[in-house]
Structure 1
Amino acid sequence: MIFVLPLLLLAVAAVLGIVAGHRGADAARPDDRPLALPPVDAPDATSPSCTRLLAALPATLTASPHPVPRLPLAAPAPAGATAWAGTAGGDPVVLRCGLPRPPELTDSSALIVINGVSWLDLSQPGRDTFIAVDRPVYLAVTVPRDLGTGPVQSVSDTVRTTLPATN
């Protein structure tokens, strides 16, 4: 009888550890509920270029610490937009296609090239926003900084193979 209490306590501790481990796994899992995106000015969102790009984008983006799946968008979803889950409780990755020319883009703008696509970097604290400026349409991808550079690299690969470069 003297060994029953320690064994019972050990069993309770093991069960609590398993339950806590499952909760931790759920906390690390990205949110997959439909995402409501507000409309933005995107005059070319329904263009053939945007339609082709959106159809070609991957279902999952490379990200750190784990890949992120595409999210369904809540109705009414804005044309030319898609999103992928962020980390649990974090912001999603959002792509918008068919945007107007960004006013920040000038002849002297510093651009970065990621996997063959020229991007204007409009990053802010906590998130990186890149606007592709060398394609037939302007598109923006906003990535929470905690996901690393994988999402914009994955999007760049699809942009490069789907939309021809312009000068």
Structure 2
Amino acid sequence: MSSFRHRLLGLPVVLVALITAAGCSSSDDRATAAVPSPDAAVTKLCGNLDAALPRKVDGLSRADPRPDSALTAGWGSPAIILRCGVPRPAEMNDPEADGAEVNGVGWLLAKQPDGSFLFTTTLRKAYVEVSLPASRTGNGVAPLVSLAPAVKKAIPEGIAD
């Protein structure tokens, strides 16, 4: 009978441990983003960009996507996602591709089939991609206005390899 009693006394400890573990494992509702894998030189530039990025973009607070990386950043939900060190988009070979300059930073503009937009920097030593969900397109290129100073500061002009 004493062994049964010892098992019952251990039960509350096990229950507390299970409840604590369940409470700590909250659902992480952050956006996800594929992390680019650039070379070391571009990774360093992207780290500089991460440090220079604003806390708010288009009035939205920074909420970085999963997995955590200095190569990705996000704002709001649904998130505006920035990825630094992405490969050169094939659309840059198209002379008919849409582009714009926003506060001294050139961007390739690509409307996606779902109504979202994908912007990629041009004429910089690293390619920086910004995805703008369809629900966030009402303010046009306002997110790029917020991001341009950080890009200009961290990613020098030039041609990325």
- Give the TM-score range, shorter chain: 0.5 to 0.7
Q: Tell which structure's C-alpha radius of gyration is larger.
A: 2
Matched, 1:35 2:30: yes
Which structure 1 segments of 5+ residues have no match? Answer: 1-32
Matched residue, 1:25: none
Equivalences, count: 126
Matched residue, 1:28: none
Q: Does the CA contact (< 8 Å) of 2:100 and 2:107 recur in 1?
A: yes
DSSP 3-state at the match of 2:85? strand
The CA deviation at 1:61 is: 1.1
Greater helix share, 1 or 2?
2
DSSP 3-state at the match of 1:43? coil
Matched residue, 2:121: 132
Instruction: Please give the alpha-carbon distance, in whole angstroms, between the structure 2 residues aligned to 1:38 and 1:111.
Output: 24
TM-score w.r.t. structure 2 length?
Answer: 0.67
Matched residue, 1:49: 45
Instruction: Please give the alpha-carbon distance, in whole angstroms, between the structure 2 residues aligned to 1:51 and 1:159.
Output: 11
Matched residue, 2:153: 161
Aligned-pair RMSD on alpha carbons? 2.3
TM-score w.r.t. structure 1 length?
Answer: 0.65
DSSP 3-state at the match of 2:62? strand
Matched residue, 1:69: 61
For 1:128, give the aligned amino acid: F
Instruction: Please give the alpha-carbon distance, in whole angstroms, between the structure 1 residues aligned to 2:30 and 2:62.
Output: 10
Matched residue, 1:96: 83
Q: Does the CA contact (< 8 Å) of 2:98 and 2:110 recur in 1?
A: no
Cα pair distance change 1:116/1:37, threshold 3 Å: same
Cα pair distance change 1:146/1:44, threshold 3 Å: farther
Instruction: Please give the alpha-carbon distance, in whole angstroms, between the structure 2 residues aligned to 1:43 and 1:110.
Output: 25
Q: Which moved more, 1:125-134 or 1:49-58?
A: 125-134
